[in-house]
Structure 1
């Protein structure tokens, strides 16, 4: 009996070891650990990747522009969360003949459009600024070089005011460093945080924060908004996202986010990516229920993309054929009606 038991345990151990060995190690590049992109990556690693036989490591980065390069060149990086305007900026520069931009962006492919990322413009509570169109002469921190926040800050400024942010008024600090300077020595006037609401950095602030900071509004009807609205979209920041800071909803500006990969064609990688697409389909409801609130804004539909953008065929086929698992109620389980 003991021999049989030992044999059974040994066999079970071998099977478990074989299953573990079969998993592949991939990485996803996101943004700051306190940002929404990082939370999205953690959700995919926890709720999707294991079913696809993938050990998915979530890497914090400086943001979208850095993610494009990491996806292109960093070993093991198979997924990236990229801001739409960053991706488009590379496409535009590629189309204009920039060889480096072309090398970076041409082999990249979209797995799934995600959600709109709200752009939070933070100022001191006693600031004279209340709207984005009032910050022309402000000292602005757009985030780290390579981040999506930095690109949108400078792109929006140029669109709204007809020129670049003056060098003397621009800084490229992390959000945390910038907020210290905003409130501490007051050497900054505006800190820009690009993160889907609720952005952890802001949501985790205590009620006392109302004494020190406020968020700027975006006025879509203001003349300066005309050009930005050709690329970006208005979005509602909900008081429920930041109950310690807000008493009512207001309008800001937002930009789309995409889950992106490379145009892999080796059999093993294609098989893993196809399995990821199936697992994403089958676990999508779990993502919406157990993941970051932003998952509730995501759809598995694959809308038409603009020129220079393409879907990754192996995952696209899986998602277009997707029939998500129907969740089983307790009553159905008791009656034996669940597969």
Structure 2
């Protein structure tokens, strides 16, 4: 009889603790990217393999891309994490340093958790296009991506670097990736610029008949435009192995870095939850590389030195460095570095016209 009562009490206590644990689970959000982009898959991996084991319910939100992600993390309730391209983050830092108060207000409280991987920049043309290399896109009609997307920042920055001038307004189209490819195929534009980590679902899910109508432009290593682009972007290769039923040879292109970003939180519960997230990220890193998107295999569990205006989130940085040291010690008994970052937010610019750069970074009214 006593054993039965004790067993019953034990069961009730276990049920109570389970209920309390569920009730105490944090419910956070991460902003990512388009539905068929790489960012949303990375977010889903973080939700499943990192947040869940840490007792955090992490909703994965689609978005236009990096600039919108920073804004939503900064101002939307519950959004604690965002995926951001390095050139977008750097653009905010540069604008803040040049005296833009709204950019400064946005970027200063943002913090990095860690660098992730390289995202390839695709320059897509029709198969019948006379263009072969990226430096031939000058004065063509180009889809540069939606305003608020990282693609728009990368496309316009690359063009300005290569040709020492902005894309003429009449030549720039702000289309989603899917709409850009459709417009390309029906000859409404000449080039679609798309930023996505390979293999990109946008292409792997595409109808094979439509795929045969498009191809990628290549980097010409000898072009002077290529030397100028190297000031900000890094060489990359779109591999046949990423699109084996389509590509016949590797295609040299450019790449931009992706970062996991948060805010400089100081509330005890939020700090504690993000520390658990960091511990889980380190503990489950091998699961991410084994079961997550192929891009996780390029990620190093490493916190390299950052450029001026970029800062890690101190509580998470301490946890990650401690865990990384422990992993190194364990390996000794039985990475390398990455780059820099970018981000910010939005208010309307008043009393003067809005610049193209401010418009892309959502720092003014449209």
Question: With structure 1 as the length reference, what TM-score do the two structures score?
Answer: 0.92
Which residue does the alignment assign to 2:94? Answer: 92
Which residue does the alignment assign to 2:116? Answer: 114
**How far apart in 2 are the matches of 1:50 and 1:296?**
21
Can you give the 5+ residue segments of structure 2 that lack an aligned partner in the other structure? 331-366
Which residue does the alignment assign to 1:230? Answer: 231
Deviations 1:299-335 (A, max 9, x none): 11111000000111111111111134999xxxxxxxx
Can you give the 5+ residue segments of structure 1 that lack an aligned partner in the other structure? 328-339
**1:116-135 equivalent positions in 2, closer than 5 A:** 116-135=118-137
Which residue does the alignment assign to 2:313? Answer: 312
**1:242-281 equivalent positions in 2, closer than 5 A:** 242-281=243-282
**1:113-262 equivalent positions in 2, closer than 5 A:** 113-184=115-186, 186-262=187-263
Shift of 1:49: 0.4
Which residue does the alignment assign to 1:292? Answer: 293
**How far apart in 1 are the matches of 2:282 and 2:113?**
12
**How far apart in 1 are the matches of 2:104 and 2:227?**
29
**How far apart in 1 are the matches of 2:298 and 2:96?**
31
Count of aligned pairs between the two proteins: 326
Q: Larger relative CO (CA 8 A, sep 6+): 1 or 2?
A: 2
Which residue does the alignment assign to 2:76? Answer: 74
- Asked if 2 retains the 8 angstrom alpha-carbon contact of 1:119 and 1:193, the reply is yes
- Asked if 1 retains the 8 angstrom alpha-carbon contact of 2:203 and 2:211, the reply is no
Shift of 1:12: 4.2
Matched residue of 1:320: which SS?
A: helix
2:56 is aligned, of 54, 57, 61, to 54
- Asked if 1 retains the 8 angstrom alpha-carbon contact of 2:240 and 2:249, the reply is yes
Shift of 1:247: 1.2
Which residue does the alignment assign to 1:334? Answer: none
Instruction: Say which is worse superposed, 197-206 or 125-134, in terms of deviation.
Output: 197-206
**How far apart in 1 are the matches of 2:33 and 2:73?**
13
Structure-2 change in CA distance of 1:274 and 1:223 (3 Å): same
Matched residue of 1:48: which SS?
A: helix
**How far apart in 2 are the matches of 1:13 and 1:198?**
44
**How far apart in 1 are the matches of 2:180 and 2:302?**
38
